[in-house]
Structure formats: structure tokens, C-alpha cells
Amino acid sequence: MNEEVFIGGWTRTRLRERSQTERHAVWKRARSLHSAEGNHLARAIEMLGLPYAEPEPLVETDPLLERMKAVFGLPAARSAAIEATLDGLPAMAGIDTLLHDELGEDYRLNAAAVPSAEILLAELMASLGYVAGVRKELPKRCVARIGVYWKRG
């Protein structure tokens, strides 16, 4: 294989296979290195012609957002968020699984779904008396890759 290998072992093929959110994370990390190798990788991502920006949340009129709000209104959503927090995980770990179970591919394949879920989750956790803490990685089974760890306020 004669494909150029960038810092971190990334190739254009591997970058094309990643989601918009994942490409954005790689681009952001590459830029934060402040090195020639990092800048080279960031430029390669930019030149792919594929979206790599942080996705915006869903608009208020989007039907998926309404379905997500319905899931967040379930008692199971509150329980899942609190249980994940008690297990030392970001609350998103519990909610993410629930959203995927309830909404399936509509949630998993929409780049704007995770940022929207984070907003809805922040509202839920604040209403339960929790305050935002550090951001942590989520288990591999989750659609979201990182989430806020919430602690009692």
C-alpha cells in the first residue's frame, strides 16, 4: 500500500471511514498539537472535502428532536442517567444506550443527534440538582464518544 500515513497512523482511507464527529475530533486534536505533523494531518482532513466540523444540534422543528424529547421524558431516562452517574460514568452512557434502543438508526446515523442529546441531558441533570463536572470518555458501545460527568450540587 502506497498511501501516505499521517501522525497517529491516520490515512486518508481511514479518515473517510470515520463519521463527521470523529473526523472533527481528530482534526481538533491534530490542530492542538501545534506541530508540523499535526498541521499536516489537519490540512489533509480539510482537503478531503468531507464534513469535519462539530455538528450543530437539531433544529426545534426536527421530528427526531421531538422523539428524543419523548425518550427523555420517560422515567427510564432519568433512571439511566442517574445509574450511569452512580457507576462513575457520564450520564450520557445510560441515556445514549436508551436513545439507541428507542430510536435506532435515526439516532445513530444523525450527526446532530448527539449534540442535541447533550443539551437535553444537561437540562435533565440540572433539574435533578446535579452540576457539570469533567468530561470523560464513554464506553465503546455508545454512539457518543465523550460526555459530562455530573455530580450532586
Question: Are 16 and 50 a contacting pair, CB within 8 Å?
Answer: yes
The H-or-E segment that residue 68 falls in is helix 63-72
Q: Where are the domains of the chain?
A: 7-47, 63-152
Distances (CA, A) of 111 to 26, 96, 99, 128, 144: 16, 13, 14, 27, 10
Distance CA 81, CA 45 (A): 34
Predicted TM-score (pTM) of this structure: 0.70
Distance CA 20, CA 17 (A): 10
Residue with cell 444523525: 110
- pLDDT of the chain, 153 residues: tens digit per residue: 589 999 999 999 999 998 787 888 899 889 989 999 999 999 999 999 888 877 788 999 999 999 999 999 999 999 999 999 999 999 999 999 999 999 999 998 888 899 999 999 999 999 999 999 999 989 988 988 889 999 998
Q: Identify the pLDDT of residue 68.
A: 97
